Structure 1
Amino acid sequence: MDEIIYIKLKSRIQKKLNERVLVKDVAYLEGKEKIKTAMGDLVLYEVTKADKTHVVIDIMDVLFLLRTRHTDLDVQSLGPVNTIIEVDRGKRPPSLLFVSFVWFLLFVGAGLAIMNFHEDVSMLEVHQKIFMIITGNEVSAPWLLQIPYSFGLGLGMILFFNHLFRKRINEEPSPLEVEMFNYQQDMDRYVIMSEKEKL
């Protein structure tokens, strides 16, 4: 009777140059412990300098290796059919000058965007009219509305992005995290398709 092992490829892993990629690195295995260990320790690939930034491992490569090493093995594949190996070439940390420059650009850009938006929608006139409706007095600078509004704008951004510095406010992902996840999914699909076209 054939031994059954279930295999589910991981979507993405990271490996350094000249590091060997084992089956257990790219896949979750389920079955008898002896077979899981024997199959998981098989060398599937070795990362070389020629690999550039990404390597795509296909389920067919894994199935071929498992079946050549264990002919009586019944392999049941589940989930994704490709694993992306991201080649870690050792990144150096960014310089303080570069981080400061980017921070300054983002800070000034965000401030200008908020000010231009408020100018476009005539926020000062809106505050003046609201102040006149509530109090009956006409003033040129309605500080009682503008100061709380400014604090509320900052608080709204904190709640929208769901982070206060490194602390997450609740478990729900922020819109930025969802967009980054979608971007990563699109990038993975592109890498898989472009690597398949090279074959």
Structure 2
Amino acid sequence: MTPIYIRLKQSIRIPAQDMIRLKDIARITGLKREKPLIENMIVHRIKQEDRNVIVIDSFTIINQIISRFPDYQVEILGPNYCVVHIERNKKKPTLLIVAGIWLLLFIGAAMAIMNFHYDVSMEMVQQKLHFMLTGEEVEHPLWIQIPYSIGLGLGMILFFNHWFHKKFNEEPNPMEIEVFKYQEDLDHYAAIHDNKVEKMDEDH
């Protein structure tokens, strides 16, 4: 039997369309003549009840290929499922919503920083540091406070590795890593609890 090697993608995002083909969710190798036919196989026809997430299991793909090409042996490499996110009528947020979210985040971050400094008595620490270095007691040692405030902002920019859309290097920042982990958990949950394609196959 001729082997076919299929590597499923972990997760993909596609615009709303009528059908999902095998080449959309996987990479295929191991054959040449029938490769275009297998790549263009319709794995699932999208319906309105599918909503925004579809999970396509490797068992469904193997079953479809063997039913059409019984002389081939299918080998699945990598993930055993592909989570398909369907983007339907994606709207861009308005400037008012963006400004409101930005304002809330700005106020929240400012309050968090101020409360942290109050808890650790940062002002008192800076006053004592000024006294240790100069021998004078000053209520507002600006020569320490101003560079400290500038350094705090620059440190946050370097930590998150972003200046608007510009990145300083190719390393992912902590926020991107957390979003990636969150998306992985969502995909894993969908694969276990919302395997719609497999459920529909069982119903038929």
Q: Taking structure 2 as the reference length, what is the TM-score of the superposition?
A: 0.92
Measure how far apart 1:16 and its partner are. 3.5
1:47 aligns to 2:46 (yes or no):
yes
Residue 176 of structure 1: how far off its partner (Å): 0.8
* Structure 2 gaps, min length 5: 200-204
Structure with the greater relative contact order (CA < 8 A, sep ≥ 6): 1 or 2? Answer: 2
2:5 aligns with 6
1:104 — aligned with what? Answer: 103
2:202 is matched with which residue?
Answer: none
Q: Tell me the residue number matched to 1:178.
A: 177
**Letter aligned with residue 166 of structure 1:** H
**Structure-1 separation of matches of 2:125 and 2:16:** 60
Which segments of 5 or more consecutive residues in structure 1 lack a partner in the other structure?
none
Letter in 2 for 1:131: H
Residues 86-140 of structure 1, C-alpha deviations (whole Å, 9 max, x = no match): 1211121112211111111111111111111111111110001111112222211
Secondary structure of the corresponding residue to residue 14 of structure 2: strand
One-letter amino acid of the structure 2 residue matched with residue 25 of structure 1: D
> Aligned residue pairs: how many?
198
- When structure 1 is superposed on structure 2, of 137-146 and 93-102 the one drifting more is 93-102
- Residue number in structure 1 paired with 2:133: 134
Deviation at 1:154, TM superposition (A): 0.4
Quote the residue 1:27 is aligned against.
26
Contact 2:56 2:195 in 1 (8 A): no
Alpha-carbon contact 1:5-1:74 (below 8 Å) kept: yes
Classify the secondary structure of the residue corresponding to 2:34.
helix
Q: Does 1:124 align with 2:123?
A: yes
- Are 2:165 and 1:169 equivalent residues in the alignment? no
Partners of 2:99 and 2:163 lie apart in 1 by 20
Asked whether 1:17 is paired with 2:16, we answer yes
Q: Aligned with 1:33: secondary structure? A: coil
User: C-alpha separation between the residues in 2 aligned to 1:22 and 1:34?
Assistant: 18
| Equivalent-residue separation in structure 2 for 1:169 and 1:131 (angstroms) | 34
Give the fraction of aligned pairs with identical amino acids, expressed as a percent.
42
SS at match of 1:83: strand
2:176 aligned partner, one-letter code? E
CA distance in 2, matches of 1:30, 1:13: 20
Please give the TM-score of this superposition, normalised by the length of structure 1: 0.94
Specify whether residues 187 and 193 from structure 1 end up closer, same or farther in structure 2 by C-alpha distance, changes over 3 A only: same
Match of 1:81 in 2: 80
CA–CA separation in structure 2 for the residues paired with 1:143 and 1:66: 73
In the alignment, the residues of structure 2 paired with residue 184 and residue 62 of structure 1 have an alpha-carbon distance, to the nearest angstrom, of: 24
Q: Would you say the 8 A contact 2:6–2:29 is kept in 1?
A: yes
Letter matched to residue 57 of structure 1: I
- 1:155 maps to 154
